[in-house]
Amino acid sequence: MKSGLLAAILALAPFAASAQQVPTVRIRGTIESVDGNMLGIKTREGSDVKVRMTDNVAVFAVVKTELSEIKEGSYIGVTAMPEPDGTQKAIAVHIFPENQRGAAEGFRPWDARANSTMTNATVAQTVKGTDGQHITVKYKDGEKKVLVPPDTPIVTFIATDKPEVKPGAKLIIFGAAKKDDGSLEANRVNVGRDGITPPM
């Protein structure tokens, strides 16, 4: 009897685990209104959405920086387009603060544009070339060679506070949680500073 009960519990365990996975939505757009913790956002696609910031929301400013700030050992995110030779051509690079090292590490499809990719990884080597900076990045199960052309937007994240979340600012929310009632909630908001549109 006990073994049968145990088998039944084990059989149900995967369903219980999957039920706890809250679906998330990536949102890019312009803040149109701020009412307490509720944001009104016009998305990149042109739709209007409401997102509630959690009480302990982490707010980061997306700030322009220089290619020279990308050094060996830096932890970066590369938004890129795959090249025919298997390398990646960067369309944007963001430098993570040290306390976010390891965040979402790896290589995956991305939605900045059709067929784009995202690689979050550590810089193993960086070499200047005639066509831009050639960077090798390594993550836990692989590595990528990346060309960063001279005109590529380079940004970093700076921890900031809610006053930076204001109408007119451009933002990206990497993972707004979709609640059972269909509402959206975010525990992290990334806002472009000085009119920047987060390029990733």
CA 79 to chain centre: 10
Q: What is the pLDDT of residues 40-86, one digit of tens each?
A: 999 999 999 999 999 999 999 999 999 999 999 999 999 999 999 99
Tell me the average pLDDT across 23-40.
96
Tell me the average pLDDT across 8-24.
58
Per-chain mean pLDDT for the chain: 91
Tell me the average pLDDT across 12-25.
62
pTM of the shown model: 0.83
Q: State the CB neighbour count (10 A cutoff) for residue 142.
A: 11
Burial class (CB in 10 A: 0-12, 13-18, 19+), 19: exposed
| Token pair listed for 187 | 């525990």
Tell me the average pLDDT across 106-123.
96
Enumerate helices (H) and strands (E) in the chain, giving the number of each.
Answer: 1, 12
